[in-house]
Amino acid sequence: MSPVDGAGIFNPNLPVDQAVSEGRAPARSEQEIPELHEVDCPPELKERIEALMAKYPDRRSASIPALWAVQERYGWCTPDGIRQAAAVMRFTPAYLESVASFYDLLHTDPVGTHRVEVCTNISCWMRGGDELLDAFEAAGEGQDIFITGFECLGACDIAPMASIDQRYYGPLEAAEAQTAIEQLLAGQEVLPEKALLKRPLAAELPGGGS
Amino acid sequence: MAHELETRVLLKEAEDPALRTLEGYKRLVGGYEIQEKAYRSMEQDEVLKELEDSGLRGRGGAGFSMGKKASFLPRGDMAKYLCCNADESEPGAFKDRELMQRNPHQLIEGIAIAALAADAGHAFIFIRGEYAEQADILDAAVAEAYEAGYLGKDILGCKRDLELVVHRGAGAYICGEETALLDALEGKRGNPRLKPPFPAVQGLYGGPTLINNVETLSNVPHIVRNGADWFKGFGTEQSPGTKVVSISGGVRRPGNYEISLGMPLRELIYGLAGGPEPGHEIKAFYPGGSSSPVLTPAELDLPYSFEAMAEAGSMLGSGSIIVADDRVSIPHMALRTARFYHHESCGKCAPCREGTNWTVKMLERVVRGEATPMDLDIISSVQQNIMGHCLCVLGDSMAMPVSAMVNKFRDEFERVIEEAAMPIAVVQGAPETLGAAT
């Protein structure tokens, strides 16, 4: 296939895609899609992806949810996991990889068992987000924890904040990073008093109401 | 207790955790009564007319009339879709998170009624991937609504079907753009599409699609319950209704407050959010999320409405105010803003992909002291070349605030260039005038 499908028709210097010049759709070879028996997909992953596909009018819509399922199963979107999902969904692995690589929360490289995303966007930056990220990086050094700065997580009311294993916590002092990491590694509940879901509305906070 | 300056409609009873459950929603605020009434006794056109008459404007950023948007959908037997845009990712915005987390059934009821207005049989809530906790809450609420017969096949015995799927994204700001959202929902990379055709004509799976923000849809049950005139009793003539405003940054009480639109900004920032920390003053603020041109304290007495913000050369956007106090360096804030859009640009259109990239590089030069004041003019001209030249407004969303900051705070940019350049000039043994020259 030419680097650009059919480009040679208009530009004699580029090779012509035979399929295009003959008026056929360019080859999207079926054999690129792995067969189920080739990929050793765990039955529960297969069932889950099939259930996801059934929720949508078009099975392609289940791409992102299926990749979430792969990531949950393996910790990240492993090449094998992507092949398994591709076999179940009847897409090429390359297609699912192209989707996975677009989104910040889907990891196509290995990451730690635990994930900490520290917001460093405008409101958190004003309130010490950078220092919080530094504190988390120092506290988590050498541990099996993936720590990263992140764009706005949508919790500017609890700035500076972090998402720890997909749960929001804030406002955090830099010193609390150490505590959070220790609790995380010990399998304890992380900073229970700082969990977003337990926080009242702003007007209900001390000094907030009328 | 709500603050005395608040007007709570959407956040009514929101402090009670029981509101999250179907039982609590029914008991505390008479939930699902209006869906029942609408499904049993109202025609599609009646609901549409009520929404159009109310003047409800989209709460996601663009501020387009919701009723009008719904009326653009063609009639006929083809499959039509409703998408709730819950991909709230604009820096400074966190109101949809609060609404979904505290009152998920209000949104579901709003979707059910809007689906009647749009004659849609399939609805989706596209929630950003980071909101895992809120997605779980929505999942539980949707399951309850199915169980109770407010969703599913033959709803309330009225021969209408509605399937509702909570679709969790995976981290991409661009998916808040409606056509990129459709691509992501179709299982692709979230790239915006060319408009027209608009989604109302050709959207999800090629079918007519109504896309509305969480807060917009949450307003629907209240409008159908109380009527358009009641709704117009709040807010201003061109911005009717209440609005959940997210205030953050350099204020003492950051958070979500529900107000009647048109409240003076000073009351909002000082009265509700407590104003800046003691001993500090407001230097600038974004009135409508990070993509809105910044305003200065001179504009604090303007009413907070779509029209007043537009007149002031900015926008109300999603209703998210970020306050910068006198400790914040505006060039650094411009750089933070530009970095965000550079990171989130999908790369499809060259002006945005390259423009955000070069703006970041130039602003980095500014704060490192390697720029000259002429670079500020180049930054401004790059912004001009992004605006209006792409498929979507992501590039514009950087260009507008960055231009505004360079224009309104040019002195500070020049001072930063000068101050940052000084030590380098000394180290390199260059003439002392280097930093101040040109």
Mean pLDDT by 10 residues, chain B (438 residues): 93 96 98 97 96 96 94 95 97 97 98 97 97 98 98 96 97 96 96 95 96 98 97 97 97 97 97 96 97 97 97 96 97 97 96 97 94 94 96 97 97 92 54 40
Cβ contacts (< 8 Å) between A49 and chain B: which residues? none
Q: Say how many C-beta atoms besides its own lie within 10 A of residue A20's C-beta.
A: 19
Check whether A153 has a pLDDT greater than 50. Answer: yes
Residues A195/A173, Cβ–Cβ less than 8 Å? no
- Residue span(s) of chain A under CATH 3.40.30.10 come to 114-204
In this prediction, residue A11 carries a pLDDT of 53
CB contact under 8 Å between A208 and B340, yes or no, is no
In this prediction, residue B272 carries a pLDDT of 96
How is residue B264 annotated by DSSP?
Answer: B
Interface of B with A in 178-237 (CB under 8 A): 184-190, 205
Give the position of tokens 């949810």.
A65
Sequence-ordered strand ranges (E) for B7-121:
81-86
In this prediction, residue A105 carries a pLDDT of 96
- Can you say whether residue B89 is alpha, beta or left, with left for phi > 0 and alpha for psi between -120 and 50 degrees? alpha
Q: Say how many C-beta atoms besides its own lie within 10 A of residue A173's C-beta.
A: 13
> Where is A143: in which H helix or E strand?
none
Residues B317/B90, Cβ–Cβ less than 8 Å? yes
Nearest-Cα residue of chain B relative to residue A64: B187
Check whether A199 has a pLDDT greater than 90. Answer: yes
Check whether A87 has a pLDDT greater than 80. Answer: yes
Nearest-Cα residue of chain B relative to residue A195: B133
Cβ contacts (< 8 Å) between A205 and chain B: which residues? 253, 255
CB contact under 8 Å between B92 and A60, yes or no, is no
Residues B330-427, CATH architecture: Up-down Bundle (1.20)
- In single-letter form, the type of residue at position B65 comes to S
Quickly state the pLDDT bin for A17 (edges 50, 70, 90): low
Check whether A208 has a pLDDT greater than 80. Answer: no
- The string of DSSP letters for B290-313 reads TTSPPB-GGGTTSB-SHHHHHHTT
How is residue A195 annotated by DSSP?
Answer: B
CB contact under 8 Å between A122 and B333, yes or no, is yes
CB contact under 8 Å between B130 and A154, yes or no, is yes
In this prediction, residue B385 carries a pLDDT of 97
In this prediction, residue B55 carries a pLDDT of 97
Q: Average pLDDT over chain A, rounded to whole?
A: 89
Which tokens in the block code for residue B237? 């003539």
Residues A114-204, CATH architecture: 3-Layer(aba) Sandwich (3.40)
Across A139-143, A156-160, B417-421, least confident range: B417-421
* A57 touches B at CB < 8 Å: yes
In this prediction, residue B37 carries a pLDDT of 97
Per-domain residue ranges for chain B? 17-232, 242-322, 330-427
CATH number, span B242-322: 3.10.20.600
Size of interface A-B (CB pairs under 8 A): 177
CB contact under 8 Å between B130 and A210, yes or no, is no
* A203 touches B at CB < 8 Å: yes
In this prediction, residue B429 carries a pLDDT of 46
CATH number, span B17-232: 3.40.50.11540
Which tokens in the block code for residue A110? 């290995």
Interface of B with A in 344-383 (CB under 8 A): 344, 346
The pTM of this model reads: 0.92
In this prediction, residue A201 carries a pLDDT of 95
Distance CA B86, CA B344 (A): 17
The β-bridge relationship of strands A114-119 and A162-164 is antiparallel
CB contact under 8 Å between A99 and B90, yes or no, is no
CB contact under 8 Å between A60 and B256, yes or no, is no
In this prediction, residue B421 carries a pLDDT of 76
Cβ contacts (< 8 Å) between B1 and chain A: which residues? 203-204, 209-210
CB contact under 8 Å between A98 and B189, yes or no, is yes
- In this chain, the answer to whether the domains covering B242-322 and B330-427 adopt an identical fold is no
Interface of B with A in 302-341 (CB under 8 A): 320, 322, 324-325, 328, 333, 336-337, 340
Average pLDDT over residues A170-178: 96
- Residue span(s) of chain A under CATH 1.10.10.1590 come to 31-110
Give the position of tokens 């109310």.
B54
CB contact under 8 Å between A152 and B6, yes or no, is no
Cβ contacts (< 8 Å) between B133 and chain A: which residues? 166-168, 196-197
CATH number, span A31-110: 1.10.10.1590
Preceding peptide of A171 cis, ω within 30°: yes
In this prediction, residue A206 carries a pLDDT of 80
In this prediction, residue B438 carries a pLDDT of 36
Quickly state the pLDDT bin for A29 (edges 50, 70, 90): low
